[in-house]
Amino acid sequence: MPQLSCQDLCLGYEGKAVVSDLTFGVCVGDYLCIVGENGSGKSTLMKTILKLMAPISGQVLTGDGLAANEIGYLPQQTAVQKDFPASVREVVRAGCLNRRGMRPFYNKSEKRIADDNMKKLGIDSIAKRCYRELSGGQQQRALLARALCATRKILLLDEPAAGLDPKASAEMYDLIMALNSGGTTIIMISHDIAASVKYASHILHIGSQSALFFGTKADYLGSEIGRIYAGLGGEGI
Amino acid sequence: MTTAMNQLTLYFQFPFVRYAMIVGVLIALCSSLLGVTLVLKRFSFIGDGLSHVAFGAIAIATALNLTNSFLLVLPVTIISAILLLRTGQNTKIKGDAAIAMISVGALAIGYLIMNLFAGSSNLAGDVCATLFGSTSILTLTMTEVWLCVILSALVIAVFVLFYHKIFSVTFDEDFATATGTNAKTYNLILAVIIAVIIVLAINLVGTLLIAALVVFPAMSAMRVFKSFKSVTICSVGVSVVCAALGILISILAGTPVGSTIVAADIAGFIIFSAFGFIMRR
């Protein structure tokens, strides 16, 4: 049974469909990359999976022991965050909020979870530093640690390497790969077709109006669209 | 210095001076608590817009000869706050334009109603008092002081209880929603608290100067401190000290209370900015 599946999804704003007939599923341990051009509906799909917006029709189902609020999310940076006074520790701990229910403060085990995740991502030494003064790679790690506090089961990543230099983005991809090897399901939106093909186990390619391809990486590379798209190696896309 | 001290001791024997001090400090505390969140959410002007709505409501209450204008002003302001915070999301009229429309509209209608219906002979004086606070802080009744104490206690309690959720919703609304925090509820709570603070603060600084109480302490704290907790605490400290200083100075020098407090806040901002600049070098 898939951990997360989308059935006949039709997505868009104010009744106008951006993409329709999306059907796919991810199982535990999968690494799915969602690729496609700008405006093809990748971010809309991600928002729908996270229940930030409702689909026009169709549904998003969770299964295999996954609750709807157990999805970790690594968003793209917002303008608000660029000058937000917050320490790394405060940001990471915010990921524990959904464990807490109505209790107003974090307990010891939640604080430990936050500390463990910071250690895991190598940012425990900068826990007291101000988020806005960190490098792009460090900021992404802090947000990733926060997502891990929310869940270990499934992570949704929106362009995790956007704005990072080549070294930092390679490190980011390695980190994500390591998490995936540890059993965390990964769903990632990416412009970086080279990295998608390198790391993913499955590819969902969305074109204008509908899904152009969904399947394993090997099938994608064998398909016509995969050959055209991946053959370009990310240049000019 | 001793004469000033003697003068203050003399003044503080009057209950209305003590009331003014208590209420002033409480309002400064509450407004700065929320100020950090409002500034970071890019909602600085909501305080200003709401205070103009409150001005309109006060005008209507005066025209209706209500004995306790509070009963009308508070609900009207709360409803406007909810409507304004809602405009941030998916509406045809953008947030800043909506605030501008509502605030100027309320100001104009309020003045119009005051002109048409108020029986007061000193209309200009009434309007000026409502806009700049002037003397209302010195004419507080015991009931108003208690009301202010209770509402402040409520605001502080809600803020402390929901502190982490408010942080999460302010920092990243999408993430908070995705992981099961109902961001809409917390935005609603914020809207209600802001409205309560605005209505309270009208007594202290009048409707035109409230935004200063919200924005200046938060901005001062953000020059120097770098975590959400330290910024919030510092902002409260700055705000309380500036309000107390402002009230003391206004008593001694006979200056208008509201504008003296805001002047103290401006001075605080300049000092913190200089300090932050030196620290970064």
CATH number of domain containing A27: 3.40.50.300
Contact A52 B163 (CB under 8 A): no
Residue A1's domain spans which residues? 1-66+155-237
Domain boundary among A128, A152, A176: A152
Q: Is A52 on the interface with B (CB under 8 A)?
A: yes
> Is residue A236 pLDDT above 50, yes or no?
no
pLDDT digits (tens, 9 = 90+) for B12-49: 888 888 888 888 899 999 999 988 988 888 777 777 88
Choose the closest CB to B228 out of A85, A97, A147. Answer: A85
Q: Judge whether A216 lies within some domain.
A: yes
Q: Judge whether A116 lies within some domain.
A: yes
Rounded percentage of chain A residues whose pLDDT exceeds 70: 95
Mean model confidence pLDDT for chain B: 84
Backbone region of residue A72 per phi and psi (left: phi > 0; alpha: psi in -120 to 50; beta: other values): beta
Categorize the per-residue pLDDT at B235 as very low, low, confident or very high, splitting at 50, 70 and 90.
very high
Which residues of chain A have a CB within 8 Å of the CB of B160?
Answer: 104
- C-alpha distances (whole Å) from B213 to each of B151, B193, B202, B240 are 17, 15, 11, 10
Transcribe chain A into DSSP letters: --SEEEEEEEEEETTEEEEEEEEEEE-TT-EEEEEE-TTSSHHHHHHHHTTSS--SEEEEEE-TT--TT-EEEEPPPPHHHHT---BHHHHHHGGGHHHHTT-SS--HHHHHHHHHHHHHTT-GGGTTSBGGGS-HHHHHHHHHHHHHHH-SSEEEEESTTTT--HHHHHHHHHHHHHHHHTT-EEEEE-S-HHHHHHH-SEEEEE-SEEEEEEEEHHHHHHSHHHHHHHHTTTTT-
Tokens of B217: 């302490």
The pLDDT of residue B224 is 92
Residue B55's domain spans which residues? 2-274
Q: Judge whether B129 lies within some domain.
A: yes
Contact B178 A86 (CB under 8 A): no
Q: Is A43 on the interface with B (CB under 8 A)?
A: no
- C-alpha distances (whole Å) from B10 to each of A225, B15, B25 are 87, 11, 20
Runs of H (alpha helix) within chain B: 2-11, 15-40, 44-63, 70-86, 95-117, 123-132, 142-161, 163-171, 173-178, 183-205, 210-224, 228-253, 257-280
A48 and A161 fall within a common domain: yes
> Is residue A237 pLDDT above 50, yes or no?
no
Mean pLDDT of A111-115: 89
Q: Judge whether B258 lies within some domain.
A: yes
Which residues of chain B have a CB within 8 Å of the CB of A150?
Answer: 179
A237 and A167 fall within a common domain: yes
CATH number at residue B154: 1.10.3470.10
Packing angle of the helix pair B228-253, B210-224 (nearest 10 deg)? 130
Q: Judge whether B281 lies within some domain.
A: no
Categorize the per-residue pLDDT at B121 as very low, low, confident or very high, splitting at 50, 70 and 90.
low
A160 and A232 fall within a common domain: yes
Q: Judge whether A75 lies within some domain.
A: no
Mean model confidence pLDDT for chain A: 83
pLDDT digits (tens, 9 = 90+) for B146-204: 888 998 999 999 999 999 999 988 898 888 888 877 888 888 888 888 888 888 888 67
Q: Strand A31-36 vs strand A57-62: parallel, antiparallel, or unpaired?
A: unpaired
Using the 8-state DSSP alphabet, how is residue B138 labeled? Answer: G
Q: How many domains does chain B have?
A: 1
The pLDDT of residue A235 is 43
A49 and A161 fall within a common domain: yes
Q: Judge whether B240 lies within some domain.
A: yes
A41 contact partners, CB below 8 Å, separation of at least 6: A11, A12, A18, A19, A206
Distance from CA of B225 to the nearest CA of A (A): 7
Contact A104 B162 (CB under 8 A): yes
Q: Judge whether B13 lies within some domain.
A: yes
Choose the closest CB to B168 out of A68, A94, A132. Answer: A94
A61 and A50 fall within a common domain: yes
The residue assigned the tokens 């996954």 is A66
Tokens of B271: 């000092």
Contact B167 A94 (CB under 8 A): yes
> Is residue B220 pLDDT above 70, yes or no?
yes
A196 and A224 fall within a common domain: yes
Per-window interface: A 54-113 vs B, CB < 8 A: 68-69, 71-73, 75, 78, 80-81, 84-87, 90-91, 93-95, 97-98, 100, 104-106
A139 and A175 fall within a common domain: no
Instruction: Tell me which chain A residue has its CA closest to the CA of residue B167.
Output: A94
Q: How many domains does chain A have?
A: 2
Q: Which residue has the higher pLDDT, A63 or A189?
A: A189
Q: Judge whether B279 lies within some domain.
A: no
The pLDDT of residue B217 is 95
The pLDDT of residue B87 is 60
Categorize the per-residue pLDDT at B94 as very low, low, confident or very high, splitting at 50, 70 and 90.
low
Categorize the per-residue pLDDT at B95 as very low, low, confident or very high, splitting at 50, 70 and 90.
low
Q: Is B160 on the interface with A (CB under 8 A)?
A: yes
Domain boundary among A95, A121, A152: A152
How many other CB atoms are there within 10 angstroms of residue A237's CB atom? 14
Counted across chains A and B, CB pairs separated by less than 8 A come out at 94
Contact B179 A106 (CB under 8 A): no
Q: Judge whether A79 lies within some domain.
A: no
pLDDT digits (tens, 9 = 90+) for A120-164: 888 888 888 999 888 888 888 899 899 888 887 888 998 888 878
The pLDDT of residue B219 is 93
Rounded percentage of chain B residues whose pLDDT exceeds 90: 25
Which residues of chain B have a CB within 8 Å of the CB of A100?
Answer: 164
A170 and A232 fall within a common domain: yes
ipTM: 0.84
> Is residue A97 pLDDT above 90, yes or no?
no
A138 and A204 fall within a common domain: no
Instruction: Tell me which chain B residue has its CA closest to the CA of residue A154.
Output: B179
Contact B227 A128 (CB under 8 A): yes
Q: Which residue has the higher pLDDT, B114 or A155?
A: A155
Which residues of chain B have a CB within 8 Å of the CB of A98?
Answer: 179-181
Contact B179 A97 (CB under 8 A): yes
Instruction: Tell me which chain B residue has its CA closest to the CA of residue A84.
Output: B40
Categorize the per-residue pLDDT at B244 as very low, low, confident or very high, splitting at 50, 70 and 90.
very high
The pLDDT of residue A234 is 44
> How far is Cα A24 from Cα B190, in angstroms, rounded to an integer?
39
Which residues of chain A have a CB within 8 Å of the CB of B178?
Answer: 50-52, 69, 71, 73, 156
Q: Judge whether B17 lies within some domain.
A: yes
Q: Judge whether A214 lies within some domain.
A: yes
Q: Judge whether A71 lies within some domain.
A: no
> Is residue B107 pLDDT above 60, yes or no?
yes
Contact A81 B171 (CB under 8 A): yes
pLDDT digits (tens, 9 = 90+) for A1-16: 788 888 888 887 777 7
Mutation for testing the A interface, residue in B179, B223, B227 having most A CBs under 10 Å: B179
Distance from CA of B51 to the nearest CA of A (A): 25
Mutation for testing the B interface, residue in A46, A52, A132 having most B CBs under 10 Å: A52
A182 and A198 fall within a common domain: yes
Q: Judge whether A73 lies within some domain.
A: no
pLDDT digits (tens, 9 = 90+) for A210-228: 667 888 887 888 777 777 7
> Is residue B141 pLDDT above 50, yes or no?
yes
Rounded percentage of chain B residues whose pLDDT exceeds 70: 90
Mutation for testing the A interface, residue in B43, B156, B175, B231 having most A CBs under 10 Å: B175
Backbone dihedral angles phi then psi of residue A32, each to the nearest 5 degrees? -100, 130
A89 and A102 fall within a common domain: yes
